Structure 1
Amino acid sequence: MIAHPDVVEAAVVGVPDERWQERPLAVVVTREGVDVSAGDLRKFLADKVARWWLPERWAVAEEIPRTSVGKYDKKTIRSRYAEGGYDVVEVHN
């Protein structure tokens, strides 16, 4: 996803899913002033990863939380998702 010209950074974490137990959630930070749709990002990834790896849930954020050592903070991302802290868009196909 980072290879997309309008994406500054991105994190993908597993979140609970009723059907599959867990599915990927993509949280992306886009270039300032750029509006990229979740559908466009999914299409961009479609020929780069296996179909079952493609996230169906997408969130655009101003920043991605990090741990004290600079890694993406997966626990915080999952927690924000569970609390409704992200505006999540679902894209299928």
Structure 2
Amino acid sequence: MPSNETLVYRTKSNAIDYKFQFVTTPNGTERAYIVSQPSYQGRPTDAHSTHRYYDSARDQHYICFDPEPRSRDTIKKIASQWAENTESFRREGKRF
């Protein structure tokens, strides 16, 4: 089972960093917990708008993706795309 791994993703604009912790869950799926990200600049922060779930046991948000992937490489790709989509949402209000 892969260990936990932390990664900083810099957006394609080279302006903003997102920090994720990738975790293998007990059932073998992979999650990308959001360690740090910029504010939503007044945009909605609800789970639907931001594509985030909340893990109360960890007191931390993680990326909403269904079904949860079983590959670390796949969750890393999902996290980078989520960061890029979140940037568009923050800057321009584009929903994803």
Query: TM-score, structure 1 length as denominator?
Result: 0.32
The structure whose RCO (Cα within 8 Å, separation 6+) is larger is: 1
Query: TM-score, structure 2 length as denominator?
Result: 0.32
